Chain A
Amino acid sequence: MTQSDAESQQFELEPWDPEQLLSTREPHEIRYSMGFLQSKPENWFPGLGAHWLPLAHSMGIELKVVQVQPTFTQPEHDTLGFVASVDDEPIALVAESESIYRFLETVVPSARGTAGSIVAEYFARRFISSLALCWSGPDSSVVRFEPELNPADVRSFASILFDIQLNGVSCRFWLQMGRVLVERLDGLWRRQVKSSTSLNLKPAPVQIEIAQLAVSAHLISDYTKPGTIIDLEVPVTDEVRIASKDDMSLEARLVNVDKAFVLEILRAAPVPVEIPADSVRLQVLLGSFSPIGVSLKELLSGKTMLETGLPLGNEVLLSIGGETVAKGQLSIFQGRFAVTVLA
C-alpha cells in the first residue's frame, strides 16, 4: 500500500531507531559465537560419566546433568572455589555458597564446617582430575591442582557452566578460564565443525532483507517516487532474512554491537512465496555485506553471529532483481514497518 505526499500528512510515522530497539551484544560474543560459545564441551570428555556414575551410585545419589554451557556470565552471588591450571594458565572451579551448601547437604549430610569444606575440596580435585583424564582433544595438556592459589587470582575471561541435579537438588558450578584456554577451545570447535562440513561460503554479497512486496509492474514508478510512504504490512521486528545470489537463505536477528548491525543467525529461511506473473518482487534491504571464512553449517549450528560492517541507521534500499531502484527511510506506522521513499 502506498500513500501520496498529501495523504502522508495524516500518517504518524515514527523513525525506526535501531539503537533503541535492537538488543545489544558485546564484541567478544561475536568473536566466539561460532566456536567457544557454540561448543559442546561434554563431547571432549567422553568418559566423564564413568568417573562419576559409579561413585554416585555407591552413595545412593541420582546424578543428572541438566546443562553444560559455555558462557560469558559469571556467578552472581558469593562464591567459593578452588584453583587449578592448564598448561600453567590458572582456571577456577567456583560455585555460589548456597549451591555448595546444597551439594554437601545431599552428598554428605552430616559433614559440617571443616569436614564439609574438605569434602568439597576433594570433589573439586576429583572433578578437575577426571576432566584431565577424559580429555579427548588433539593436544594433551598438563593439568594441575593449585592448592596455594586463590580463585580471586584467576583472570576469568569465560566459563563453562555445569548445571547438575543430585537427587533432584539443583547445583551449579562454573569452570572459569582465561583467554588462552578459551582461544584453544574456540579454535578446536571451529576446526572440528569445519572438518565435517562443506567449504566456506563463497565471498559473495549477502543481502539483509527487511521485507519484500509483490508489486504490479505498472505501479513501480508510484512505489519509487520520492515522498511516497510504503506500508510494508509486516509487524516491526528485529528479525530479517539474509540471502545470497546462490543458495544461502537464512533468518537472523539484528543486534547492536558497538553501534553496528550484527546478525544473530536463527534458522534456515523458508522459500519465498511465488509472486503473480504480472508482478515484480520489490525488496526492502538494509544493505549487503560479504561474510568471509564462514561455512553454512557453522552459521546454522546455533546462535552464531555475523558482523556486517554496516553502521546502525534506518536508511534502506528498494531493490528489484538485484538493482537498487530507490532509497528510503525505515519507519514505524501503527506497529508495522513503513518506508518513506527519499529523493
Chain B
Amino acid sequence: MENLRIKSLAPHQRALVAIAVLLDGHEAAEYLQNDSVHGNSLARSSEELAKIENKLRLPLLGTFLRAAVDEIDASKGEES
C-alpha cells in the first residue's frame, strides 16, 4: 500500500483514477490508457488499484478521491 503508483500522480489524475476504478474496476485501465500524455501511468495505477481486494479497495479509493479533491480545491483557493 505504501508504494501505490497513484500516490505519484498529480491530484487531478489521482481523482480521475479513483473514480475510474470505483466505477469500472478492472476495466478502468481500458478507458484511461488512451490519454495522450499520461495514458501509461493512469492505466497502470488503475490496474494496480483494481487488484486490491474489494473490501480494502473501496474505502481506499474513497480516501484517495476525497484527498485529491481537497488538494485541487485548496490549490484553486490559493490561486484565487
Do A122 and B35 form a contact, CB below 8 Å, given A114-B69, A115-B65, A133-B30?
no
Question: Which A residues are CB-close (under 8 A) to B16?
Answer: 118, 121-122, 125
Beta-carbon contact of B65 and A129 below 8 Å:
no
Beta-carbon contact of A125 and B69 below 8 Å:
no
Question: Which B residues are CB-close (under 8 A) to A132?
Answer: 34
Contact of B72 among A84, A114, A144 (CB under 8 A): A114
Beta-carbon contact of B37 and A125 below 8 Å:
no
Q: Which residue of A lies closest to B12 (CB)?
A: A118
Please give the distance in Å from A296's CB to the nearest CB on chain B: 41
Question: Which A residues are CB-close (under 8 A) to B37?
Answer: 147-148
* A329 interface hit (Cβ, 8 Å): no
Beta-carbon contact of A125 and B32 below 8 Å:
yes
Residue total for B at the interface (Cβ-Cβ under 8 A): 21
A220 to B23, CA, bound (A): 78
Q: Which residue of B lies closest to A88 (CB)?
A: B36
Q: Which residue of B lies closest to A146 (CB)?
A: B36
Interface readout for B49-79 with A: 1 if CB under 8 Å, 0 if not?
A: 0000000000000000100010011001000
A146 to B38, CA, bound (A): 10
Question: Which B residues are CB-close (under 8 A) to A146?
Answer: 36
* B48 interface hit (Cβ, 8 Å): no
Beta-carbon contact of B73 and A114 below 8 Å:
yes
Beta-carbon contact of B72 and A129 below 8 Å:
no
Q: Which residue of B lies closest to A133 (CB)?
A: B30
Do A115 and B69 form a contact, CB below 8 Å, given A55-B23, A122-B16?
yes
Do A122 and B72 form a contact, CB below 8 Å, given A145-B34, A145-B35?
no
A selection of 27 A-B contacts at a CB cut-off of 8 Å is A55-B23, A55-B24, A84-B34, A114-B76, A115-B15, A115-B69, A118-B12, A119-B19, A121-B16, A122-B16, A122-B19, A122-B31, A125-B16, A125-B31, A125-B32, A125-B35, A126-B20, A126-B31, A129-B32, A130-B31, A144-B34, A144-B35, A144-B39, A146-B36, A147-B37, A148-B36, A148-B37
Interface pairs A-B: 8 shortest CB-CB: A144-B36, A129-B31, A126-B31, A118-B15, A145-B35, A122-B19, A114-B69, A114-B72
> Within residues 1 to 54 of chain B, which ones have a CB less than 8 A from any CB in chain A?
12, 15-16, 19-20, 23-24, 30-32, 34-39
Please give the distance in Å from A189's CB to the nearest CB on chain B: 25
A113 to B74, CA, bound (A): 13
Beta-carbon contact of A113 and B20 below 8 Å:
no
A119 to B35, CA, bound (A): 16
Beta-carbon contact of A145 and B30 below 8 Å:
no
* A312 interface hit (Cβ, 8 Å): no
A133 to B30, CA, bound (A): 9
Please give the distance in Å from B27's CB to the nearest CB on chain A: 9
* A249 interface hit (Cβ, 8 Å): no
A126 to B25, CA, bound (A): 13
* A85 interface hit (Cβ, 8 Å): yes
* A201 interface hit (Cβ, 8 Å): no
Q: Which residue of B lies closest to A113 (CB)?
A: B73
Interface centre among A85, A118, A119, A121 (most CB of B within 10 A): A118
Q: Which residue of A lies closest to B65 (CB)?
A: A115
Interface readout for A116-136 with B: 1 if CB under 8 Å, 0 if not?
A: 001101100110111011000
> Within residues 135 to 151 of chain A, which ones have a CB less than 8 A from any CB in chain B?
143-148
Please give the distance in Å from A100's CB to the nearest CB on chain B: 16
Q: Which residue of B lies closest to A143 (CB)?
A: B34
Contact of B36 among A85, A119, A122, A130 (CB under 8 A): A85
Question: Which A residues are CB-close (under 8 A) to B35?
Answer: 125, 144-145, 147
Please give the distance in Å from B56's CB to the nearest CB on chain A: 20
A147 to B32, CA, bound (A): 11
